[in-house]
Amino acid sequence: MCIGIPMQVIRVEPGHAWVAGRGEVKRVGTALVGDCAERDWLLVFLDTARERIDAQRAAEVNAVLDLLQGALAGAPATTAEAGFALPSNMDPTTLAALTGRTD
């Protein structure tokens, strides 16, 4: 399984960008997302930017990653920590719409 990490561009090079996020700074390929600018947010998988995202989406993904990190450390998860509704707290209709299920 591959997890996308939200990272913010701090410097641009041809075909690459230096990005920072979740306590690290690294150089990633940008061929799949095109030209980038400083302060852009990218979703990075295995040292390659795969998607351009906005700051709100970056915050949501980081919140989920924080919950995952906490769960792995044995901490209980709460909706208040996430800042959005967790799937386990959604009604069946909302969850079906989120997953694209029609049955």
> What is the rounded average pLDDT of the residues 25-35?
97
User: In whole angstroms, what separates CA 56 from the centre of its chain?
Assistant: 10
pTM of the model: 0.72
- Closest-CA residue to 5 (of 35, 70, 50, 72): 50
Other C-beta atoms within 10 Å of 32: how many? 12
Residue 86: what pLDDT? Answer: 67
- C-alpha distances (whole Å) from 49 to each of 5, 19, 20, 83, 88 are 9, 10, 12, 25, 30
State percent of the chain over pLDDT 90.
55
Other C-beta atoms within 10 Å of 61: how many? 19
